Amino acid sequence: MKSDFVAEILRATGTLRAGDPAGATAIIRAALAAGGLGPESNAAPGATGEASRPSQWTAARVIEGSLAGEPAPTADKGPPSGPASKRRNRPLGEVLRILGNGRRRLGLDGAVRRLPARVPELPLPDGAEFRDLTFACAAGSRRYRLYVPASGSDGIEGLVVMLHGCTQSPEDFAAGTRMNEHAEEHRLLVAYPAQTAGDNAMSCWNWFQPGDQLRGAGEPAIIAGLTISVRDAFAIPPDRVFVAGLSAGGAMAAIMAETYPDLYAGVGIHSGLAYRAASDVVSAFAAMRGQSGPGLPAGDLKGEGGPRLIVFHGTADSTVDPSNAERIMAWHGGAGRITRSVQPAAGDRRGYTRIVREGAKGVAAECWIVDGAQHAWSGGSARGSYTDPKGPDASRTMVQFFLGTAPDC
């Protein structure tokens, strides 16, 4: 969400609390009009309530059916467009309720767990480094952290680029995912680019902006340039470069897979959205709620020729609807034999459904639907935000998937 839009909504809230509802209404209407949501707009409405949660069985069947080529269920496309569908002017209370629901879905309300101003540094094995660096190119610059494993003295085996979610930082994301630990085990570099509050008020990657969905421009160009610089500096083989992300970072990972399929051999999307699932703030709310957006036709990525794909999503995710996992798998495309396995819950460990699509060269894509998991990194550490220690270990599973080894969780 653009910083000026967020600032205007916050200003309207302060004006309302100061006892000036008319002034608040004027500010909100101006902000909505600037975002295409004014009374003269034909845009689909934003998120206004909780979408129904599919059961584990339903989520798995929908994804499995889509992979097998069955038609996906028709999504709610909202009211028809045209002059007759133009919305009426809404009362201030209703507008604030709609905005409040949308803000909660993008993690903009006060209920979001805030991180301390400085996340404590993780302990490092002797010989390991967690470098604090900056990358700059014509498209812009970003700070990033680079984990160089102590085990890398015997040779670096690959690079994983990790894209954090909204309100997170590289340090927080590293702590929560524990990806550095797995990198140490497998001799991998891990790069954690940092989104700035200046580029997005909540430090979200701008996955919903058309200018940040293209090759050679915007945030994809910055992330790709950063990836190439690290890859080349450490002489990483092209087939050992991967990208993964959570939520907005997961949606940006999908963009990187689509715009730079020649750069990444594998992509991991956790609680994210498919490429071009949205084209503005309004459609972002709708996509997060589970409504289909203006994205590309199913199979556009051409799964056999693009990066291999692994998806994680929780059935109880109320921030990004689990139906987005099905859309991601459909976007990846490709044909092949589909297998499905169910692992029931055991003790305090969550159960999950794993769906695998075999390609000509082995597993092309797989999806893990985690029972009862919310909007959080499965199997992560409580030291970081948005983690679910009870779920299967997404970091370990992604690394094993990227490197072509069998999962052991």
Which token pair is 366?
């797989």
Beta strands in 205-319 (DSSP E): 241-246, 266-270, 308-314
Catalytic residue among 151, 169, 247, 271: 247
Give me the numbers of helices (H) and strands (E) for the chain, helices first please.
11, 12
H helices within 35-129, ranges in order?
Answer: 56-67, 92-105
Which token pair is 154?
């015997």
What is the distance between the alpha carbons of residues 92 and 29, in angstroms, rounded to a whole number?
9
Cβ-based neighbours of 80, under 8 Å, separated by 6 or more: none
What is the distance between the alpha carbons of residues 347 and 324, in angstroms, rounded to a whole number?
29
Residue whose tokens read 């999503």: 313
> 161 and 227 in contact (C-beta within 8 Å)?
yes
> Is residue 271 flagged as an active site residue?
no
Q: Are strands 352-359 and 362-370 parallel, antiparallel or unpaired?
A: antiparallel
- Specify the amino acid at residue 363: V
Q: Which residues are catalytic?
A: 247
